[in-house]
Structure 1
Amino acid sequence: MNVRTKNLICACRRLEETTSPAQKWRPQFHLSPPTGWMNDPNGLCQFRGSHHIFFQYSPFDVQTGLNYWGHFETADFVHYQYHQPALCSDEQFDCHGVYSGSALENDGVLYLFYTGNVKKTGDGYDYVNNGREHNTIRACSRDGVNFGEKTLLLSNSDYPGNVTCHVRDPKVWKDAAGGHMVLGARRRDDVGEVLVYRSGDLLHWTLASTITTPEPFGFMWECPDFFRLDGAQVLSFSPQGVEAQDWKYENIYQSGYCLLDGALEGDYTLSEFQEYDHGFDFYAPQTYEDESGRRILIGWMGMPDSDYAYPEKEYQWTQMLTIPRELHVRNGRVYQQPVAELRTLRRTAAHQTVAGTAAFPAAPAWELEVQCSGAAPLEIRFGGDARFRWADGMCRLELGKSGCGRTLRRMPLETLEQVQIFRDASSVEIFLNGGEAVFSTRFYPADDRLEITAAQAEATRWTLAAMEIRKDGES
């Protein structure tokens, strides 16, 4: 660790120590930054029994800036240890930000792969085709907390000649064939694609193939991911520049996946792009396989370049991550379900048989599960002016003043048989039919009421305890 890194970390610690955890809008069971700004989850992995959740972190301001990698560690998704930033901008090849990337354990060493951002100053730079560097870098650790020497793996001159300066967000994995890496890219003709690399030693990388859609689908594909699950191959990415189509692609930027048939490094076809989440605030998800074989996803509960307001900025912090979700592939789509460990947060349960309208006691943080007929309309009202409705094969999430600029999101769903909602101090995540569809959003409720209207439904609401977060040095 060099002197500049030590000074930056010390400055972070001093700032974080002045931030109270008991501010308004601070979540009880979602990860948020101690201070400043949080965005993309990075480096998700399980290493020596602990889950490590790194994240894009700009500690000195409530907007994205000189990004670090913040770091949470947990054994059970309920009790967390917050560590000092794992990576800082302390080298010439990452001097303007430690951007997104992934983690890989190999022979007892935890490797972090990330994009080092460099922006040149002066006239004549558009920062797309010139004036910018996106370098692929590796750092390593033997304890999962302290990361040593950084190694520059690839720079812009190593990428294909038809791509712009925008090549970033390495996702790395290893199998019997060796090391693999996917990078998101923007071509010079403003078409997004994924670059696929291979390596025999995780140090020297060779371009193996490129993947894109037959017709252009956005100008940039960020945060790529690739995994095999339940007999399917999933190519995940966050395309920028996709126009809205009725109820689809209504956010500024999208996050979703295509099922890939064929070879990642050969002939392939991609299925139609499907969005992971139809809420207002979901972007840049990343997945990993834990030691039990589960495929777990965490996303950023935010949206870049949006006009939405985030009132928690008043308290000098902003943004959060979604709850961890276990993935499965069924019927040609990815299902998402909250990880089972979150059930340990359940406290007081209230059950009602709903035949008309039923109200539950007010609570600031809760989980709700509703079993319904599959055909009859359902409406759930919460937080003063927020409501979720299903009728005639269409889901609608509607927000009033609590949305701070967020108004309506919708999607078709043929039947509705089950709803599971996680409501926190300033967010809500809605899972439908066991994770067939999801809506995630930030919102800022006026009150803690909850009402359900249905012809016939069974509903259980649990109040939820707060997860525990300790900082290094706390007992």
Structure 2
Amino acid sequence: MNSLNRDLKRLVKTVENCEGEKVKSDYWRLNFHLMPPVGWLNDPNGLCEFNGCYHIFYQYSPFDEKGGLKLWGQYITSDFINWKNKGAKVFADQPYDCHGAYSGSTIVHDSKMNIFYTGNVKHRGKYDYINSGRGHNTILLVSEDGENFTDKRLIMTNSDYPDNMTCHVRDPKVFKENDKFYMVLGARDKNDIGQVLVFESKDMINWENINVIKSEAKFGYMWECPDLFKIEEKTVLLISPQGIEADGFKYNNVYQSGYYFLEGDYKTKNYKLSNFEEIDRGFDFYAPQTFLDSKGRRLLIGWMGLPDIEDVYSNPTTEYGWQHALTVPRELKVVKNKLTQLPIDELKNLRKNCKNIKVEKSIEDKAYNTFDLVANIENCESLEIIIKDCACLNYKKQENLFTLSFIGGGYGRKDRSADLDSLKNLRVLCDTSSLEIFINDGEEVFTTRFYPTKDKEGIKVSGEYLNCNLHIYEMEAFNIEN
């Protein structure tokens, strides 16, 4: 650990100690989600399972709850219930990452964690920082114990990317196939077309650009946070494109997250992309990353937030010195040619008390402050669920439409919708200031922040021709050791 690294670590601890009590006093701190100790959180990074523990890194800016210099924070767990906060781990402490340790991934190989990330550099001067003035460097860190990391190694700079790229090439995701390693990088070319660069290596040190993946027609100017993986004989390309125009109910956020099914060979031009599908319809979801665990599950975690939303809607937690969180871990599956997602089974261990309610017309109940609601629906022409007098979940069979809207506590959030032929089941994870809504076994998902007042714990359910069994489980909090 160099002296600058030590100084930064000491400074982060000082800020956390000084600001921590104010942050903890906020009622809207979440109970069963990972958050920054202080300041700002964004993309999940470096997700992996190593030496019997799951390692969850995240973009961390402890010095400013509205963003700023990005480091990596780290949580570890063996059961997704009991956590250890390992603090700031990856620092912006070299000339090639001095303006931020940006997003990246971990690949476990030869009993070591190999962490790849983007080092951000913004040169002083009159630059547009798109075609000039910015360095996006690919950097490697190695750890043999998940706690200590070797000196950084600069792997690639702007000159190693194709000549037609802008300075926006970032977010390496690395994986192994047969005896070679592959890296996908999000990119923006000089025609402002978003795409993914594919690199190949035999040793994870020397990389060769072997392909570019892009849609037939332009789809956004930048593809961030790419993730390429196989699941149930399908090859999935997960991206977060920027610059997509809204299209009816689709693409209503400032930036999107979604996936293509890729047919053919991603290593050559012999590939074809399916239609792009949004992976989450809510207000607060971006930059998801996946990994494969020892149980054979493809797990996903997303950022429960978005960049550049200040003029659209807001998060009042900034008044307490923090902002944003990670989603709960979700297991991905392919069902009927669609990528589905549901909360991992371990979260059921947080369930405590339970209310079982039969609904034929309408009910109103106190519910709990934080809960896991499961609704099994045998028949339904329409359904409305109002949570804490703030969030409204509405389904109308005649219109084939499901809508999430706010009657209070949305802080600028209004409504998001999805086409839905039928409603068979619904699961809602309600934390103090977040909702994660899983429809029809995860066929559609809505993630959002919301901010009810402390006295609001009620739930109202009503509908037409309704035959619904509700199970409302009180949820305990994560146990986080600092």
Question: Is the contact made by 2:66 and 2:318 (CA closer than 8 Å) also made in structure 1?
Answer: no
Look up the equivalent residue of 2:462 and give its one-letter code: T
Could you say which residue in structure 2 is the equivalent of 1:110?
113
**265-274 vs 394-403, greater mean Cα deviation:** 394-403
What is the Cα deviation at residue 374 of structure 1? Answer: 5.2
Aligned to 1:468: 479
1:100-249 matches, cutoff 5 A: 100-123=103-126, 125-249=127-251
Rounded to whole Å, the distance in 1 between the matches of 2:51 and 2:379 is: 43
- 2:431 is matched with 424
Equivalent residues in 2 for 1:400-419 (5 A)?
400-419=407-426
In structure 1, distance between residues paired with 2:35 and 2:173: 23
Deviation at 1:49, TM superposition (A): 1.1
1:235-268 CA distance string (max 9 Å, x none): 0000000000000000000000000000011200
Q: Which amino acid aligns with 1:55?
A: Y
* Partner amino acid, structure 2, of 1:178: K
* Cα distance in 2, alignment partners of residues 173 and 63 from structure 1: 33
Residue identity matched to 1:450: I
Percent identical pairs in the alignment equals 44
Q: Distance in 2 between matches of 1:110 and 1:255?
A: 27
Equivalent AA in structure 2 for residue 453 of structure 1 = S
Q: CA deviation at 1:340?
A: 0.2
Specify which of 23, 27, 41 is matched with residue 24 of structure 1: 27
Match of 1:89 in 2: 92
The answer to whether the 8 Å contact 1:327/1:334 transfers is yes
Deviates more, 1:170-179 or 1:153-162: 170-179
> Equivalences for 1:18-97 in 2 at 5 Å?
18=18, 19-20=20-21, 21-97=24-100
1:159-182 CA-to-partner distances (Å, cap 9, x unmatched) read 001110000000001121310100
Residues 292 and 272 (structure 1 numbering): CA distance in 2 closer, same or farther, change over 3 Å? same
Alignment match, 1:334: 339
TM-score w.r.t. length of structure 2: 0.96
Q: Specify which of 391, 400, 412 is matched with residue 386 of structure 1.
A: 391
Q: Do residues 376 (structure 1) and 349 (structure 2) align?
A: no
Residue of structure 2 in register with 1:449 after alignment: 458
CA contact 2:201–2:208 (8 Å) conserved in 1: yes
Identify unmatched segments of 5+ residues in structure 1.
Answer: none
Deviation at 1:378, TM superposition (A): 1.1
The residue identity in structure 2 corresponding to 1:65 is G
| Aligned-partner Cα distance in 1 for 2:156–2:408 | 47
Kept in 2, the 8 Å contact 1:290–1:296? The answer is: yes
8 Å CA contact retained: 2:379, 2:467 = no
RMSD: 0.9
| Alignment correspondent of 2:3 | 3
Match 2:259 to one of 246, 257, 260: 257
> Given that residues 350 and 360 in structure 1 are in contact (C-alpha distance below 8 angstroms), is that contact kept between their aligned partners in structure 2?
no
Structure 2, unaligned runs of 5 or more: none
**Cα distance in 1 between the residues matched to 2:265 and 2:25:** 50
Give the match's secondary structure for 1:93. Answer: coil
1:349-378 C-alpha deviation (Å, 9 max, x unpaired): 000000111122242110000011354211
Letter in structure 2 aligned against 1:329: V
Kindly indicate whether the alpha-carbon contact (under 8 Å) linking 2:39 and 2:65 is maintained by their aligned counterparts in 1: yes
CA distance in 1: counterparts of 2:298 and 2:25, whole angstroms = 33
Say if 1:80 and 1:470, in contact at 8 Å, map to a contact too.
yes
Cα displacement string for residues 135-155 of structure 1 (whole angstroms, at most 9, x for unaligned residues): 000001111122121111110
SS at match of 1:92: coil
Tell me, in whole angstroms, the C-alpha distance in 2 between the residues paired with 1:308 and 1:5: 36
Query: CA deviation digits over 1:100-149, x for unaligned, max 9?
Result: 000011101101100000001112x0000000000000001111122121
Q: Tell me the SS of whatever aligns to 1:127.
A: coil
- In structure 2, how many angstroms separate the alpha carbons of the residues matched to 1:25 and 1:4? 34
Deviation at 1:342, TM superposition (A): 0.1
Return the alpha-carbon distance in structure 1 between the equivalents of residues 131 and 379 of structure 2: 51
Once the 2 structures are TM-superposed, how far is the Cα of residue 17 of structure 1 from its aligned partner?
Answer: 2.4
Distance in 2, Cα, partners of 1:236 & 1:374: 35
Quote the Cα distance in structure 1 between the aligned partners of 2:411 and 2:367.
22
CA distance in 1, matches of 2:132, 2:11: 33
Q: Is the 8 A contact 1:371 1:457 kept in 2?
A: yes
Partners in 2 of 1:231 and 1:282 — Cα distance? 26
Is the partner of 2:8 in helix, strand or coil?
Answer: helix
Confirm or deny: 8 A CA contact 1:374 1:415 kept in the other structure.
no
Q: What secondary structure, in the 3-state scheme, does the structure 1 residue paired with 2:360 have? A: strand
- What's the CA shift string for 1:259-305, capped at 9, x where partnerless? 00000112000000000100000000000001111000000000110
- Give TM-score scaled by structure 1 length: 0.98
Cα distance between partner residues in 2 of 1:271 and 1:310: 35
CA distance in 1, matches of 2:375, 2:159: 54
Partners of 2:381 and 2:13 lie apart in 1 by 53
Name the count of aligned residue pairs.
470
**Partner Cα separation in structure 1 for residue 103 and residue 379 of structure 2:** 41
Partner amino acid, structure 1, of 2:132? N
CA offsets per residue over residues 20-68 of structure 1, 9 Å max, x none?
3342200000100000000000000000111100000000111121100
